[in-house]
Amino acid sequence: MSTGIKDKVAIIGMGCTKFGERWDAGAEDLMVEAFEEAIADAGIEKNQIQAAWLSDCFEEIHIGKSALPLSLTLRLPNIPATRVENFCASGTEAFRGAVYAVASGACDIALALGVEKLKDIGYGGLPNSGSNSGSLNWLWMPNMTAPGAFAQLATAYAAKYKYSIDDLKRVLAHVSVKSHANGALNPKAHLRTPITEDQAISSPMVAHPLGLYDCCGVSDGAAAAIVTTPEIAKKLGKKDLVTVKALQLALSNGEEVQFNEWDSTYFVSTTKASVVAYKEAGIKDPRKELSMMELHDCFSITELITYEDLGISPRGGAPKDVLDGFYDLKGGGVPAQVDGGLKCFGHPIGASGLRMLYEMYLQLHGRADQRQLKDPKLGLTHNLGGFPFMNVVSIAIVGKEGV
């Protein structure tokens, strides 16, 4: 019988580049930048790493299909290295590979590194996703855009829970204002300018009712984690360990898009994955037990709905929690996007899941500077890749050992 991952693996080192328009750096430079911070933090030698995982989403740009760029760039000691990709969950997928390898006893120390270059590909947005996802886009939804798809969540949510669009836009503006305020405190964030709710509400429309400030940034960046067993970590002199409490992955099976039961106001995969993750971590009441979250806020409406899918807010009740400040950095019950989130830290796809874990790791070690929360014990990260009706969701829960 499976026993889960709880407390079987410890994170001993993490690194993250500054995210943004990194015209100064190629993917290899970003990998080195994140890795050097991670291995210095871990306090180990490179030859102690026994296996590695590399994540990026658009392999056609800079990286290629194998993990050779990781091994060559870092001069890894001829160890196994594997490239993984799972849409926006790619970074957490790399982390999952490293964690499972250590937990299984296949290796003692493993590396997960995610990287993405999106700004110097010929234009400022994401490349044509049809080239990456094949029939998923070209045959199923050739005219679909990400803002358009997620905007439909907002109108469906407003209709189901009887919010006017203007009232919902005020709620979404608070979501974005909160993330911009947090990002302004983060020297590694892409967007560091605070905004007002009036600015968010009156910003140029992207896909009704989502405006400019409802959409996350497109960035370059890399992040890395080094993991081992708690026993080895302690032999290395590590104290106050941050351990993995749960790692779960859930993918759509087609029911959302092929049947009429799904009403576009929630994510099936998030709901499924969270239930299993809480059980694995031994969490009974996430609203009371979680200290902080990093959610996949590709759009402000995604963050709002995820509050409910994770069982933090009741169905239809997330707007009240948002306006009450429950997810704010200062005084919030479960602060969300404490580093600025995708919205402001940025979204280099292959690195995002590891970037989220980086913030949880800093917070749990008391190293988050102006963003530091008081005595956090458990943190949750959530990635959602794909579209509302067809997606992959990953959830990781990390925390202080013994919690």
User: What pLDDT score does 146 carry?
Assistant: 87
176 and 237 within one domain: no
Q: What is the mean pLDDT of residues 357-386?
A: 97
Q: Any idea what the CATH number is for the domain that residue 317 is in? A: 3.40.47.10
Residues 237 and 252 in one domain: no
pLDDT tops 50 at residue 131 = no
pLDDT tops 70 at residue 1: no
pLDDT at position 142 is 59
Whether residue 194 sits in one domain with residue 102: no
8 A C-beta contact, residue 347 and residue 217 = yes
pLDDT value at residue 58: 84
Going by DSSP bridges, is the β-strand pair 109-116/51-55 parallel, antiparallel, or unpaired?
Answer: parallel
Within a domain: residue 48?
yes
Q: Catalytic site residue 88?
A: yes
pLDDT at 216: 94
2/154: higher pLDDT? 154
138, part of any domain: no
Statement to judge: residues 209 and 337 lie in one domain: yes
Asked if residue 335 and residue 226 are part of one domain, the reply reads no
- pLDDT above 50: residue 135: no
Whether residue 137 is predicted with pLDDT greater than 80 in this model: the reply is no
Residue 225 has what DSSP assignment? E
Condensed to tens digits (0 to 9), the pLDDT of residues 78-122 reads 999 999 999 999 999 999 999 999 999 999 999 999 999 988 775
Does residue 136 form part of some domain?
A: no
Owner of token pair 């026994």: 50
Residue 347 designated active-site: yes
Please indicate, yes or no, if residue 284 is contained in any of the structural domains.
yes
Residue 72 lies in a domain: yes
Q: Which residue, chain included where needed, has tokens 């497109």? A: 218
Catalytic residue among 62, 174, 347, 382: 347
* 129 pLDDT more than 60: no
Q: Are residues 161 and 111 in the same domain?
A: no
pLDDT level of residue 192 (50, 70, 90 thresholds):
very high
300 and 238 assigned to the same domain: no
Structural domain containing residue 255: 146-215+245-398
Count of C-beta atoms within a 10 Å radius of residue 23: 9
Q: Which of 16, 57, 62, 88 is catalytic?
A: 88
The answer to the question of residue 2 being in a domain is: no
Q: Are residues 368 and 329 in the same domain?
A: yes
* Whether this model's pTM surpasses 0.85: yes
Q: Are 85 and 179 contained in the same domain?
A: no
**Token pair 């995969």 is at which residue?**
269
pLDDT digits (tens, 9 = 90+) for 28-84: 999 999 999 999 999 999 999 999 999 999 877 778 899 999 999 999 999 999 999
Residue closest to 216 by CA, chosen among 253, 180, 240: 180
Residues 374, 229 share a domain: no
